[in-house]
Amino acid sequence: MYDTSHHAQILTNARLATLSGDHGYGLIDGVLVIAGGAIEYVGPRTGLPEKYRNSPETDLGGRLVTPGLIDCHTHLVYSGSRANEFEMRLTGKTYAEISKAGGGIVSTVSATRDASDETLLAETHGRLGRLLAEGVSTVEIKSGYGLDMETELRMLRTARKLSEQRPVRIKTSFLGAHAIPAGMNADTYIDDICIPALRAAHAEGLVDAVDGFCENIGFTPDQIRRVFDCAKSLGLPVKLHAEQLSDQGGAKLAADYDALSADHLEYISDQAIAAMASSGVVAGILPGAFYFLGETQKPPIEKFRAAGINMAIATDSNPGSSPMTSILLAMNMAATLFGMTPEEALRGVTINAAKALGLTDCGRLAAGLRADVAIWDVTHPAELTYRMGDAPLYQRIFEGSIC
């Protein structure tokens, strides 16, 4: 165990996936110097600055070192389970039948509203722990299972508490525009509950970004635009669930607002791809929901490549469509289901995931960045995408300390 809050520590005999440059792993056989919670030097042993010559060293035995992984799209805070719905669906029940039986998002909203603060926090800790065990250092967490002011705020407070109790960086997204509460008009909900809740959450310092669900079973672009206008007035960046089940023009809307990311994108149009490329919107690739729901329309990965759009990968961890807490499995799915390369997969959970959260101090191994690092019992980065059901993490370093 070591702590670099005051003294430099040198990690030697390492294979460093620096992710420098726009392409490639940026592999270097060399050393990594950490001090004060930041990376001080990364490169060959021969270039080690003289002032570090007598610093303590740890020999990593040729292990792979990557930036700490980033899960940039999760719904990690919620209560209850939807396993019974999964079973019903597999025995032939339709979505309408499941909803009539009290299932769907309504069941998660009910369970989340009923859960105590202590229960909500404890259940989320379990899910978060599984991500940390796979080298994750930063997690985005959305609200959206409250659909009333009180519960939306409780979800965001729970997310904030996680980073106070665990060595992890939490970025929060307000997702009040996630679903329409039963018996309420969508426009009324946006104006009377969603936007006031956003303002209250922002006033309490609970929001890092604002998200929405733009879909034929969610909200229209005009309704999302009202939420985004409020976000912009508060100085908050936006992101969007777009074109998962149909083309509603959400990705183009995201581009119009210079969103950090537009996520899912299975039904995105060529025009929206061009708009995203022009405005620099990151494409959030979420293979867990595609797999779990048995979808057939894939996001147009090759078109994203051709347009030069950065692609992030995330678990989309949620109880209804992607009950997954494995970022490494998300990488494997992105490769096997969508044809992304292992290099794209690693960039998708590091540098591009950082861009999807508006972060510039992480996602690469470079001097001056945060010392959020994952050390793996493998020697080549492709192993992280190749393996299934295996988490070969050797050590996780968060802000310079082993945890």
pLDDT tens readout for residues 138-170: 999 999 999 999 999 999 999 999 999 999 999
Which residues, at least 6 apart from 3, have a Cβ–Cβ distance to it below 8 Å?
400, 401
Contact (Cβ atoms closer than 8 angstroms) between residue 284 and residue 264: yes
Helix (H) or strand (E) holding 161: helix 149-165
Nearest to 268 by CA among 315, 303, 308: 303
Contact (Cβ atoms closer than 8 angstroms) between residue 204 and residue 231: no
Pull the structure tokens for residue 63: 């292990």
pLDDT of residue 1: 40
CATH fold group of domain 69-356: TIM Barrel (3.20.20)
pLDDT of residue 96: 65
**Rounded to 5°, angle at Cα 267 from 176 and 386:** 90
Question: Three-state SS for 170?
Answer: strand
DSSP label of 206: -
pLDDT of residue 371: 98
Q: Is the backbone of residue 281 left (phi > 0), alpha (psi -120 to 50) or beta?
A: beta
pLDDT tens readout for residues 16-71: 999 998 999 999 999 999 999 999 999 999 999 999 988 999 999 999 999 999 99
pLDDT of residue 6: 52
pLDDT of residue 93: 86
Residues written for the chain: 403
Locate the domains of the chain by residue range: 9-67+364-402, 69-356
Nearest to 374 by CA among 403, 348, 345, 344: 403
Q: Angle of helix 149-165 relative to helix 195-203, nearest 10 degrees?
A: 30
At 341, which amino acid appears?
Answer: T
pLDDT of residue 5: 44
- Strands, sheet with 261-264, edge to edge from the N-terminal-most edge strand: 69-71, 136-142, 169-177, 209-214, 240-242, 261-264, 282-285, 311-313
Backbone angles phi, psi at 153, to 5 degrees: -70, -40
pLDDT of residue 106: 86
- Other C-beta atoms closer than 10 Å to the C-beta of 126 total 10
DSSP label of 23: S
At 386, which amino acid appears?
Answer: Y
Taking only Cα atoms into account, the Rg of the chain, rounded to an integer number of angstroms, comes to: 21
Taking the C-alpha atoms of residue 64 and residue 288, their distance in angstroms, rounded to an integer, is 26
User: 């970022």: which residue's tokens?
Assistant: 327
pLDDT tens readout for residues 105-133: 889 999 999 999 999 999 999 999 999 99
- CATH node for 9-67+364-402: 2.30.40.10
Ordered DSSP codes for 54-96: TS-EEE-TT-EEEEPEEE--------S--HHHHHHHHTT--HH
- In order along its 403 residues, the chain shows pLDDT tens digits of 445 445 899 999 999 999 998 999 999 999 999 999 999 999 999 999 999 988 999 999 999 999 999 999 999 999 999 999 999 989 998 766 887 777 888 899 999 999 999 999 999 999 999 999 999 999 999 999 999 999 999 999 999 999 999 999 999 999 999 999 988 999 999 999 999 999 999 999 999 999 999 999 899 999 999 999 999 999 999 999 999 999 999 999 999 999 999 999 999 999 999 999 999 999 999 999 999 999 999 999 999 999 999 999 999 999 999 999 999 999 999 999 999 999 999 999 999 999 999 999 999 999 999 999 999 999 999 999 999 999 999 999 999 999 9
Which pTM value belongs to this model?
Answer: 0.97
